[in-house]
């Protein structure tokens, strides 16, 4: 089919293939104004949607963290990890309580 269209265009037959408007005259141009009007109306709504998207993106950008913000958070997290590493573990607390209990028990034997 495409070969026929190309052949017809270059052969100079003078008549365009069916389905293609060849000169702006009837039968295809009568509906063109209505179709263009609909497209223009739809473009107004598309432009409104794009404007709303731009506003939303500006709001998101205003609250978005930067690399500097994230590097500060990284430093703070590293500091907290260091502090947490220095805290006694559950086993250390249990051992401390056992030693304290043994000391109190030993003192109670000495006191009596």
Q: What is the DSSP string of 60-76?
A: HHHH---HHHHHHHHHH
Report yes or no on whether pTM surpasses 0.75: no
Reduced to 3 states (helix: H, G, I; strand: E, B; else coil), residue 102 is: helix
How do residues 82-105 score in pLDDT, each as one tens digit? Answer: 999 999 999 999 999 999 999 999
Q: Where are the domains of the chain?
A: 30-64, 66-112
Q: Which helix (H) or strand (E) holds 38?
A: helix 32-63
Mean pLDDT over 13-20 rounds to: 53
- Nearest in space to 65 (alpha carbons), one of 56, 78, 74, 55: 74
Q: What is the pLDDT of residue 3?
A: 58
CA dihedral 89, 90, 95, 100 (to 10 degrees): 100
CB 37 within 8 A of CB 30: no
Mean pLDDT estimate for the chain: 82
């Amino acid at each position: 089919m495409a070969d026929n269209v190309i052949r017809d265009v270059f052969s100079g037959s003078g008549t365009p293939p069916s389905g293609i408007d060849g000169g702006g005259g009837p039968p295809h141009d009568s509906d063109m104004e209505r179709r263009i009007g609909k497209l223009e109306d739809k473009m107004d709504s598309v432009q409104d949607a794009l404007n709303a998207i731009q506003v939303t993106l500006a709001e998101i950008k205003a609250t978005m963290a930067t690399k500097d913000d994230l590097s500060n958070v990284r430093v703070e997290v590293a500091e907290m990890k260091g502090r947490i590493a220095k805290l006694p573990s559950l086993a250390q607390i249990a051992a401390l309580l056992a030693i304290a209990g043994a000391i109190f028990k030993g003192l109670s034997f000495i006191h009596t």
